[in-house]
Amino acid sequence: MATKKFFLNESELPTHWYNIAADLKNPPSPPLHPATHEPVGPEALAPLFPMELIKQEVSQERFIAIPDEVREILKIWRPSPLIRATALEKALDTPAHIYYKYEGVSPSGSHKPNTAVAQAYYNREEGVKRIATETGAGQWGSSLAFACNMFGIEAKVYMVRISYDQKPYRRSMMEIWNGAVVPSPSEETESGRKIRATDPDSTGSLGIAISEAVEDAAMREDTKYSLGSVLNHVLLHQTVIGQEAIKQMEMAGEYPDVVVGCAGGGSNAAGLMFPFLKERLDGRQKTRFLAVEPASCPSLTKGEYRYDFGDSVGLTPLMKMYTLGHNFVPAGIHAGGLRYHAMAPLLCQLYDEGFIEAAAYPQNPCFEAAVLFAQTEGIIAAPEASHAIRGAIDEALAAKEAGEPRVILFNLSGHGLLDLQAYDDYRAGRLVDDHYPAERVAEAMRELPVIG
Ligand SMILES: *Cc1c(COP(=O)(O)O)cnc(C)c1O
């Protein structure tokens, strides 16, 4: 019987983050000022982020040391396990070998604390007393509340009102970790009050919540803002995942032919992929990389590669991304973490250059894959992660079809124990497969800024 699990010692937790910007063949397109469309310098971001994170955002250094205090907290759950999905392989009757890196072992149950801890640390180092952020279903808010609590910082979370009402348990987690949670739109910011004045029953949206959190941070001297995906420094912090996985695949005596991740803003996929991608950029490996997104929000497979805002109100710098338009509001699928109109600029560039492939799936085939995974491997995956499972299973079925061996590695970005309503809906046949909303995307694309 083949070995199933591959564990590293605490001492093998990576000492550095890997910055793929140092190895790109073409220089990345700079962020542009939202009004002037001129490239923005680091100082423009200073009201929102601590300087050390801004430096990481634009760094060309290949390896950046992880502070000891950050490593100590990551050791609560890291290194995370790498597991071979032998029972799933058997159920699929495939010659492929399937491995997954399991990020659901963190305190909040996903990969997000990998960056939340680093971000809270740099804020504390620079004397920040309070961090404001937004959260949809609560995965990011709970991760940031956990991290802030570790460093004695107050976390203020603007939580999309409909989730605040419908998903109370993530809110409980935030409050246990001393986070202050308000439903958004709230009465606490100008942006929130304005929306409530015209629409008192507004259920909120991620775009509105971002505007509230950014305004909060911009207005207060003691407060900074924090983002859980998309930005370069967030992807950087997630590279502990791939670096660990490289060592664990060595222990397994194999090397992946294809690496798969689900992609919302792109951080967990990049975290697993980038350390392996370095080997391909350096010409040592031919590994394929597959990002899987929802059919209802297919930024990579259907979006255009051009400058757009990171938020829906248009407060952030313009970034060059595959985008569906910042005003596009995707259908309310259960994989809330994948409902972002665009994608991390670094991932987009590598996709554009042909190093990363992408696929889009509707909800039902993803839940079907996640249920098979739960019934074979035992773990109930987050709805977001079900997309990676679907991608990995289809790779394994393609290998079977071709009658060839294939080593598949995917990121199981989180568990779904707070998402059981989604599984109930799937099993009761209540999930609709929202297909690509071409007209609404076309409408949103018409509102993109035109860069001269
Ligand atoms: C937030 C989240 C995602 C999507 O974010 P990325 O930045 O694309 O990784 C995926 N999986 C889980 C479990 C999440 O919580």
Check if 382 has its Cβ closer than 6 Å to any atom of ligand 1: yes
61, part of any domain: yes
State whether 227 and 169 are in the same domain. yes
Check if 385 has its Cβ closer than 6 Å to any atom of ligand 1: yes
390, part of any domain: yes
| Average pLDDT of the chain to the nearest whole number | 95
State whether 367 and 273 are in the same domain. yes
Q: How far is the CA of 287 from the centre of ligand 1 (A)?
A: 23
pLDDT in tens, 122-158: 999 999 999 999 998 899 999 999 999 999 999 999 9
State whether 218 and 256 are in the same domain. no
Quick one: pLDDT at residue 78? Answer: 98
* Domain end (from 183, 208, 232): 232
* Pocket mutation for ligand 1, best pick of 236, 237, 267, 333 (most atoms within 8 Å of C-beta): 267
**How many Å apart are CA 164 and CA 184, to the nearest integer?**
8
pLDDT in tens, 303-347: 999 999 988 778 888 999 999 999 888 888 888 888 889 999 999
Residue 225 lies in domain:
53-66+112-232
Check if 141 has its Cβ closer than 6 Å to any atom of ligand 1: no
Q: How far is the CA of 235 from the centre of ligand 1 (A)?
A: 11
* Domain end (from 232, 260, 283): 232
34, part of any domain: no
* Pocket mutation for ligand 1, best pick of 110, 232, 289 (most atoms within 8 Å of C-beta): 110
State whether 381 and 426 are in the same domain. yes
Return the CATH number at 126: 3.40.50.1100
| Ligand 1 atom nearest to 382, measured from its CA | 13
* Domain end (from 170, 197, 232): 232
State whether 328 and 266 are in the same domain. yes
321, part of any domain: yes
Quick one: pLDDT at residue 2? Answer: 74
State whether 257 and 197 are in the same domain. no
State whether 172 and 255 are in the same domain. no
State whether 305 and 385 are in the same domain. yes
pLDDT in tens, 75-111: 999 999 999 999 999 999 999 999 999 999 999 999 9
Question: What is the count of structural domains for the chain?
Answer: 2
How large a percentage of the chain has pLDDT more than 70?
100
Tally of CB atoms within 10 A around 410: 29
27, part of any domain: no
Q: Is the pLDDT of residue 452 over 70?
A: no
Check if 114 has its Cβ closer than 6 Å to any atom of ligand 1: no
State whether 188 and 270 are in the same domain. no
169, part of any domain: yes
State whether 249 and 294 are in the same domain. yes
Q: Which residue has the higher pLDDT, 207 or 232?
A: 232
Quick one: pLDDT at residue 414? Answer: 98
| Nearest alpha carbon, ligand 1 atom 1 | 337
State whether 178 and 308 are in the same domain. no
pLDDT band at 1 (very low <50, low <70, confident <90, very high): low
46, part of any domain: no
State whether 260 and 206 are in the same domain. no
Quick one: pLDDT at residue 316? Answer: 85
pLDDT in tens, 245-270: 999 999 999 999 999 999 999 999 99
15, part of any domain: no
Amino acid at 117: V
Q: Is the pLDDT of residue 21 over 70?
A: yes
| Nearest alpha carbon, ligand 1 atom 3 | 337
